[in-house]
Amino acid sequence: MKELTDRQKIILSLIVHEHTRTAQPVASKALISGYSLKISSATVRIEMNALTEMGFLRQPHTSAGRVPTEEGYRFFVSNLVQHTTLPSATRNTIAHQFYQSRKGLEYWLPLAASVLANQSQAVSIVTAPHSEKVTFKHLELIATRASQVLMVLVLVGGEIQQQILSLDTIRSQEQLSQAAAQVNHLCENASLEQIKNLSPFSDPFLNQVVAAVNDQLSLASKLVTGELYLDGLTNVLAEPEFSDYRPDNSPLRLLEERPMLDDLIARTVLTEEIGGVQVLIGGENTWHELQNCSVILTRYGVPDQLSGALGILGPMRMPYSQTISTVRYIAELMSSLVSDNLVN
């Protein structure tokens, strides 16, 4: 691919910024008047034609200006986006919301989704941190009605699994608590394999509980990501990129059909180090539902222990520098909170 001149890089960058702001094709006169360029309109048109021939711009209509292509956005993100940090005031505001929140993943995860959506004005995607090796932490047995019991299983890292157990005989809450205490004593910090190898109990009820624990740990070990939190859907529904899609070809399918999202996460950020940011533009010829959209994702958590994914889905024309910085900063906060939660 032909190397861009400095002037072409500037013009491409300005067209991306202007199209992001207006959602309209950008004409040479708009660049001259809006950005005080010290060159003629004719020169800008020549450079825009060159960028079009190179595949970085396209002309939607004969009389219209230019809009960036997928290749134009990719070049912009890879070469022209300034890797800035969020202003300190913004960072402080975001951090304050987390540290004022009640402690626990069940509060931090929806908060992360809300803050991401608000800051980016896009759809936020947050998955709960998932243990890379599932480990038992704590069990509770709660009497519900008649012979049914709610089993609440907490894994190291904070993941929670629940299951209703049907008993042959009714047991009091005191008996259930005693049984849970026995299982907690034997299984504390045990892996799935260790629990599978436990010797059978003389009490059939304890064997039933341990079998249920095994089932839940097996299910957890097969998950790609943890529970999903979304926010900000109304931010994008009014955008033109989202208005013309058919239901079977909408970018929102990615959010509605969990296997699609798990596939995207598994093939992108789960292969990266924690903190690395990936920008997917136009579906990258893999996810056709994401035409005209971009996804910015990163991985957060504690290396080799547990991790989740967070990011945003929005129009391809987005303020990449600010959005990437926001995603990266919230991931840093979440990694710190998850680490503290592990220690405690």
CA angle 323, 324, 325 (to 5 degrees): 90
Residue 1 lies in a domain: no
236/83 Cα distance (integer angstroms) = 25
Q: Quick one: what percent of the chain has pLDDT higher than 70?
A: 95
My answer on whether 214 and 237 are in the same domain is no
> Over the stretch 245-260, which tens digit does the pLDDT of each residue have?
665 667 777 777 888 8
Are 112 and 310 contacting, i.e. CB atoms less than 8 angstroms apart? yes
Tokens for 252? 């929102």
Determine whether 256 is exposed, middle or buried from the number of CB atoms within 10 Å of its CB (0-12, 13-18, 19+): exposed
My answer on whether 110 and 208 are in the same domain is no
> Over the stretch 289-300, which tens digit does the pLDDT of each residue have?
787 789 999 999
Number of domains comprising the chain: 3
Domain that holds residue 17: 6-80
Name 46's Cβ contacts closer than 8 Å, sequence gap at least 6: none
Total-model pTM? 0.76
My answer on whether 315 and 254 are in the same domain is yes
Q: Which residues lie across from 293 on neighbouring strands? A: 315
Q: Tell me the C-alpha to C-alpha distance, in Å, between residue 181 and each of 197, 198, 318.
A: 19, 16, 53
My answer on whether 320 and 186 are in the same domain is no
My answer on whether 185 and 277 are in the same domain is no
My answer on whether 256 and 273 are in the same domain is yes
The better pLDDT of the pair 2, 89 is held by 89
335/57 Cα distance (integer angstroms) = 38
